[in-house]
Structure 1
Amino acid sequence: MILSINPSIKAFAVLVPGVLLGLTYDVFTPLLYFIFILAVTFTMTDIPILRWMKFFTPFLILALSFAWMTVLYANQTFSNGEVVFTLWNLEITTGSIQTGISLALRSLCFGALSLMFILTTDSTKLMLSFMQQCKLPPKITYGILAGYRFLPVFRHELEVLRQAHRIRGVSRARGIKGRVNQFRRYAIPLLANGIRKAERVSVAMESKGFTGDTDRTHYHKMTVGKRDWLFLGMMIGFLIAVFALSYYLGYLRIFGRKF
């Protein structure tokens, strides 16, 4: 179902909860919403669990790092409460632990929302939706799309350069100076090829009548239907319900202040 959602609506459905979750500093609110994100991801998409875990692992490591540093170096606003233990002359309090866990859970929510958006969104449809629904100028959207399409080409050209250097007896550089010289050997040909390709694309677009005018027709028409609004309402509505439940149970904390 999420695959068919309009990309612009999907972007708002991910961005708004991400911003609102950034205001919370309790454990209950991001934990409950993280469980909801996982339920939506694995019930409304066809993303394999192993593939999702492969992409999610870096977010998990980053979240644990954030939590550890926050626990150690929380400021006075968030380090209230009883001292649990002392580490390296640093007093670890219940408030700093709660803030660290909250930050980790918020980071996991951001990662899960990002993966849900990235793994279910086509780049071409995303740019077309930004152009048609968000009224983004065609020069910007087509420029971003063209640059995105060049990435696999640059990867192939870099591999060709490496093989050409290896055939000619140029070994892999060692040390900082060698790495800098190696970067120059790769960067200059890639930059020259990129400039030539960009010029060819520009000439081709102008020859086909592309002027960047916003008043233009589209072969692929992106529309917004009831399903899109229902998805947006579900993502934001559940977060509001979580805020309300957290407030009712006395867990809600915004910027360190308990409500």
Structure 2
Amino acid sequence: MISSINPSIKAIAVLIPGILLSFTFDVFTPLSYFIFILFVTFTMGDISVIKWLKFFSPFFLVALSFAWMTILYTNQTFSYGEVMFTLWRFEITTGSILTGTSLALRSLCFVALSLLFALTTDSTKFMLSLMQQCKVPPKITYGILAGYRFLPLFQQELQILRQAHRIRGVGRTKGLKGKINQFRRYAIPLLANGIRKAERVAIAMESKGFTGDTDRTHYHQMTIEKKDWIFFSFIVGGFIIIVVFSYNLGYLNIFGKRV
């Protein structure tokens, strides 16, 4: 269901809670919204749990590192409460633990929202939606789309270069100087092939009548339907409801101050 939502509406629906979450410093609000995002992802997104975990697990480790560093180096505004324990010369307070946990949960919310958008959105439809609904110039959208399409080709060409070097007896080198020379051996052919491919794409687009004008017709028409606004209201409204509950329960914390 989520894959059929207009990409521009989906992007705005994901962006608004992501921005508003950055102002919260309590644990209840990001934790509740993270659970809400997981519910939406796995009940409405048709996303494999294993595939989602492969993308999510590295960011989980990053969030833990954020939390740990925040707990150790919390400033005076957020290091309130009793001292729980002392680690070397660092005094770990209840406030620093809550602040670090909140930062980790906010980071996980950002990752979950990003995965919700990335794993359910077609890149071509997203660019078309930016052109038709957001009025982004075609030169920018088609340029981004062409660059995105080149990434798998560059990866394939890099693998071919490595195999060609191994056949000729040029293996991986050690040391800083060797790494620089190896990077040069790979970068120059890839750059040359990239320039040639870009020229071919530019010539092909000009031969098909592409001028970059915004006043143009589209083979695939992207429209905004009722279901798009329902999804927008559901994602943003869910965040607002959680904030209201957090406020009524006395958990809501904005920049270290309880509201």
Task: Give the TM bin, normalised by the shorter chain.
Answer: over 0.9
Q: What's the CA shift for 1:171?
A: 1.6
Deviations 1:212-238 (A, max 9, x none): 000000000000001000100111111
Which blocks of at least 5 consecutive residues in structure 1 are unaligned? none
Alignment match, 2:219: 219
Question: How many angstroms apart in 2 are the aligned matches of 1:239 and 1:46?
Answer: 22
Structure 2 equivalent of residue 98 of structure 1: 98
Give RMSD over aligned pairs.
Answer: 0.6
1:236 matched to 2:239? The reply is no
Distance 2:13 2:118 in 1: 13
The whole-number CA distance in structure 1 between the counterparts of 2:171 and 2:73 is: 45
Structure 1 residue 3 corresponds to structure 2 residue 13: no
* 1:129, distance to aligned residue in structure 2 (A): 0.5
Give the whole-Å Cα distance in 1 for the aligned partners of 2:53 and 2:254: 30
Runs of 4+ in 1 over 3 A off after TM superposition: none
In the alignment, the residues of structure 1 paired with residue 152 and residue 184 of structure 2 have an alpha-carbon distance, to the nearest angstrom, of: 20
Partner SS state of residue 218, structure 1: coil
1:133 aligns with: 133
1:121 maps to which residue? 121
Letter in 1 for 2:152: P
- Structure 1, residues 34-55: CA drift from partner, whole Å, max 9, x if none? 1100000010021111111111
Matches within 5 A, 1:178-257: 178-257=178-257
Instruction: Find the aligned partners of 2:54 and 2:147 in 1 and give their Cα distance.
Output: 26
Deviations along 1:82-113, one digit per CA (max 9) or x if unpaired, are: 11000111110000000001001101101111
Q: CA separation in 1, counterparts of 2:14 and 2:121?
A: 12
Aligned-partner residue type, residue 247 of structure 1:
Y
CA–CA distance in structure 2, aligned partners of residues 177 and 188 of structure 1: 17
Q: Which amino acid aligns with 2:79?
A: S
Q: Which residue of 1 aligns with 2:24?
A: 24
Q: In structure 2, what is the Cα distance between the partners aligned to 1:200 and 1:10?
A: 33
TM-score (norm 2): 0.99
- Report the CA distance between 1:29 and its aligned residue: 0.4
Mapped partners of 1:229, 1:193: distance in 2: 44
Residue 77 of structure 2 aligns to which amino acid in structure 1? T
Counterpart of 2:75 in structure 1 is 75
Cα distance, 1:173 vs. partner?
1.0
Query: 2:112 is matched by which residue type in structure 1?
Result: A
Using the size of structure 1 for normalisation, the TM-score is 0.99
1:141-180 matches, within 5 Å, as 141-180=141-180
Instruction: Tell me the CA shift for residue 127 of structure 1.
Output: 0.4
CA distance in 1 between partners of 2:55 and 2:197 (Å): 32
Q: Structure 2: where are the runs of 5+ without partners?
A: none
Deviation, 1:59, is: 1.3
Q: Across the two proteins, how many residue pairs are aligned to each other?
A: 259
- Partner-residue secondary structure (3-state), 1:86: strand
Distance 1:64 1:220 in 2: 43
Q: Deviation digits for residues 109-147 of structure 1, max 9, x if unmatched?
A: 011111111100000001000111110000000000011
